[in-house]
Structure 1
Amino acid sequence: MKSQKIINDPVYGFITIPSELIFTLISHPYFQRLRRIKQLGLTDFVYPGALHTRFHHALGAMHLMRVTLDHLRAKGTEITPEEYEAAIIAILLHDVGHGPFSHALEFSILQGITHEELSLMIMEELNTQHSGQLSLAIRMFTDTYERRFFHQLVSSQLDIDRLDYLQRDCFFTGVSEGTIGADRIIKMMAIVDDQVVVEEKGIYSIENFLSARRLMYWQVYLHKTTVSAEKMLINLVRRAQHLGMEGAAVPATDALAVFLAQPARLQDFKSDPSLLKSFLSLDDYDIWAGVKTWKGSADPVLRGISQMLLERNLFKVTLSSQSFSVEELEALRVKTKKRCGLREEHVDYFFTHGAISNFAYVAKERILIQTKKGEIIDVAQAADLPNIKAMSKIVKKYYACKAKSLNL
């Protein structure tokens, strides 16, 4: 580049943009849209500092990928300039397909489409715009490149994505217990037989990484208040979609109106190119514009939930390690209907239930340790503590959320 571009990141300090193409991608409207999508959805209802965005995370992941590739080169792994740039692009764009509030609305505005599928569509569109310069990055992203360790760095149980978001989310929420030693983990990484491995002396850093991830899920990502706020938002959008599909006039921005008229499916994106353009105009601000408008709606559900979100009058959450019986759920439903004075057809918007689950380590997607003798073994086998084996157990909690009071 004619002049080196530097960004001051609150987590890592000054980070550099390594090439002209990467700078062009960062400057593109598709990527700049990530400034308007919060990394942790509505988690700031619990942790007020959690206002960082997908833009922050993508730049941080870009930086960590560069540090990792430099380290692997220093250890003797051959990485060409083309592979170097492609790997950085793959991690930079890995989350470009996220919609408003990240995961919160992933399956309500859309129908059966993951953000990874949308990221791929957007990367392919950018590849067309840049005359095929993203082809290698796309192969790494989709795990179709022959050197598979590049995909592991982008998406695995010990990938650059997780190394950044755990540090960043810990920093912005103030949950210091989630701190991980990312620098040491990266320094302990090596490539053996086209696989990412961690040297044995880094095993305690891996244990800490897995423990921190498990803690962050229960304390931050699956915090019961966050669950409550997200369920309220999902129910609000579901009601707006229901009214929109019935032909009612639901005030919304142009981009949001497209998805209220009909939740989009993967085949819809493939058959209608304009749909991706509408999605790429959609961000958190469209949803908040709707919430602020709908608080004056004649529809009691739109009006009620919008007002509750704006005033942080959230659903009360009951958590249990055992599933609720049909009788218990019906009793809570009836109580919600009576307390809030709801019509029967509106009750399910103000009462919701389900399950949340978490496991820190998936044994079939292994983290590999290279012993001092050169053997490659699973981290659960290498650890001298039983906690990693315990982390592979799925822990499930059941929740019931209900409105506490309502002025309709």
Structure 2
Amino acid sequence: MTTNKNKIINDPVYGFITIPNDLIFEIIEHPFFQRLRQIKQLGMTSLIYPGALHTRFHHAIGSMYLMQQTLYSLRSKNVEISNEEFEGCLIAILLHDIGHGPFSHTLEFNLLNQVKHEQLSVLFFERLNTEFNGHLDLALKIFTNQYPRKFFSQLVSSQLDIDRLDYLKRDSYFTGVSEGKIGSERIINMLNVHDDEIVVEEKGIYSIENFLSARRLMYWQVYLHKTAVSAEEMLIKLIKRAKFLTQNGVKVEATPALKLLLERNIELRHFHEDPEILDLFALLDDTDVWASMKFWREHEDTVLSGLSSKLLERRIFKIILANEKPLKEWVDTLKNKIQVKYQLSAEELEFFTGSGQISNSAYISSGQKIKIMTKKGLVLDIVKATDLPNIKAMSKIVTKHFFCWPEVD
């Protein structure tokens, strides 16, 4: 094992981050983790916010740092945390996104057949645990919520977890959307443990309101920005077309790892049946898709070349977002215009338009709750603990319908 020698990473959000020990340093150095340098945190969002070029690597390191600060804070409040638990929790958050593929969430269910990135993260975790001779056992239990002390898993994944504390602050910083700023340090210092659950001390309630408000605003302004939704829909259609052509005998150039996923409809069971598939998936990142697009823009297939050219040149489909689905008559008329202008068959036309719905909910009151501990020791769901109307409103799910299409005028 390479000696750590207190390696330091200079992070633009938090400053200098020290990698705490040799094991974590070796995990970060592993090719599985280094691959995250080539996967953008926000997928296609850099087409809208040019600064949004940060990666899953940035986010994972930042999350590890915040977890470190959280565990130090809990220890200062006499929460018993062993050195093994401390290390396990850091590794769990460090690897929480290791299963992401190219463009993060955008292609999650398109390159693979209904395989969630969390399931792939477990596969990567298990492989790394084998390579590191079982030293990731405790971290894996925390990650999969199998560890008896449940609050550790809550810090990794819940409605107020370290993952969200980092990505909100980081995404706000790199997009320049100031509405997403949160007081992560303040929130961390207000966390405590009660009956093996993470709670927020009552004096931190306004920081939580700001956290939920920032999350809701970031969804509308960044994560669900209509132009980003349109660009992602184009990318999804592009990959679907590449898979369709490949599986119907048409030659489609692609990098070796991407080619495998175009040729086969890989499900979770295939990863268990053939461990080499995980190694191939581990070679995939955003650059595979961008590089392949440069071949596809010259392809004889109108859809493949057309979508590739538009994405490479940032000619994003127009899009409407509305509370109701667009009228069928309006959609049919528009589709006819598109079909004529681009000389598309009825089958090809479906790749040149996109539709669906998006939802925004800052706080799901029916899920794992954010709990407030009052000064008298009572523990309440934040919706009941506060008289702030904003939090009650933010527990409502808002759904909008979208339709996107290429220029026709």
User: How far did 1:239 drift?
Assistant: 0.4
Structure 2 partner of 1:95: 97
Distance 2:97 2:408 in 1: 37
The residue type paired with residue 400 of structure 2 is K
Structure 2 partner of 1:388: 391
Structure 1 partner of 2:32: 30
8 Å Cα contact 1:148-1:194 kept in structure 2? yes
TM-score (structure 1 length as normaliser):
0.98
Which aligned pairs between 1:295-314 and structure 2 lie closer than 5 A? 295-314=297-316
Deviation string, structure 1 residues 151-189 (Cα, Å, up to 9, x no partner): 000000000000000000000000001100100000000
Which aligned pairs between 1:100-115 and structure 2 lie closer than 5 A? 100-115=102-117
User: How far did 1:289 drift?
Assistant: 0.8
User: How far did 1:204 drift?
Assistant: 0.3
Distance 1:268 1:327 in 2: 43
Which aligned pairs between 1:9-408 and structure 2 lie closer than 5 A? 9-364=11-366, 365-405=368-408
Secondary structure in 2 matching 1:303: helix
User: How far did 1:264 drift?
Assistant: 1.4
Distance 1:127 1:212 in 2: 36
The residue type paired with residue 397 of structure 1 is K
Deviation string, structure 1 residues 242-275 (Cα, Å, up to 9, x no partner): 0111121110000000000023111111111111
The residue type paired with residue 258 of structure 2 is L
Secondary structure in 2 matching 1:42: helix
After TM superposition, the runs of 4+ consecutive aligned structure 1 residues lying more than 6 A away are none
The residue type paired with residue 369 of structure 2 is R
The residue type paired with residue 378 of structure 2 is E
User: How far did 1:325 drift?
Assistant: 3.6
TM-score (structure 2 length as normaliser):
0.98
Distance 1:132 1:25 in 2: 13
Distance 2:213 2:265 in 1: 37
User: How far did 1:2 drift?
Assistant: 5.7
Q: How many residues align?
A: 406
User: How far did 1:3 drift?
Assistant: 1.7
Deviation string, structure 1 residues 2-52 (Cα, Å, up to 9, x no partner): 621111000000011111100000000000000000000010010000000
Distance 2:92 2:138 in 1: 9
8 Å Cα contact 1:142-1:151 kept in structure 2? yes
Distance 1:21 1:307 in 2: 44
8 Å Cα contact 1:340-1:403 kept in structure 2? no
Q: Identity rate of aligned residues, in percent?
A: 57
8 Å Cα contact 2:159-2:369 kept in structure 1? yes
Secondary structure in 1 matching 2:78: coil
Distance 1:294 1:204 in 2: 51
Distance 2:288 2:4 in 1: 37
Distance 2:342 2:299 in 1: 18
Distance 1:37 1:276 in 2: 17
Distance 2:47 2:11 in 1: 24
Name stretches of at least 5 consecutive residues in structure 2 with no aligned partner.
none
Secondary structure in 2 matching 1:332: helix
Secondary structure in 2 matching 1:349: coil
User: How far did 1:405 drift?
Assistant: 4.7
Secondary structure in 2 matching 1:350: coil
User: How far did 1:322 drift?
Assistant: 1.1
Distance 1:13 1:197 in 2: 28
The residue type paired with residue 47 of structure 1 is Y
Distance 2:197 2:215 in 1: 22
Name stretches of at least 5 consecutive residues in structure 1 with no aligned partner.
none
Distance 1:338 1:209 in 2: 48
Deviation string, structure 1 residues 344-395 (Cα, Å, up to 9, x no partner): 2210111111100110001122000000111000111111211111111110
The residue type paired with residue 217 of structure 1 is Y
Distance 1:340 1:372 in 2: 66
Distance 2:132 2:22 in 1: 12
User: How far did 1:288 drift?
Assistant: 0.4
Distance 1:2 1:135 in 2: 21
8 Å Cα contact 1:108-1:263 kept in structure 2? no
User: How far did 1:329 drift?
Assistant: 2.9
The residue type paired with residue 85 of structure 2 is E
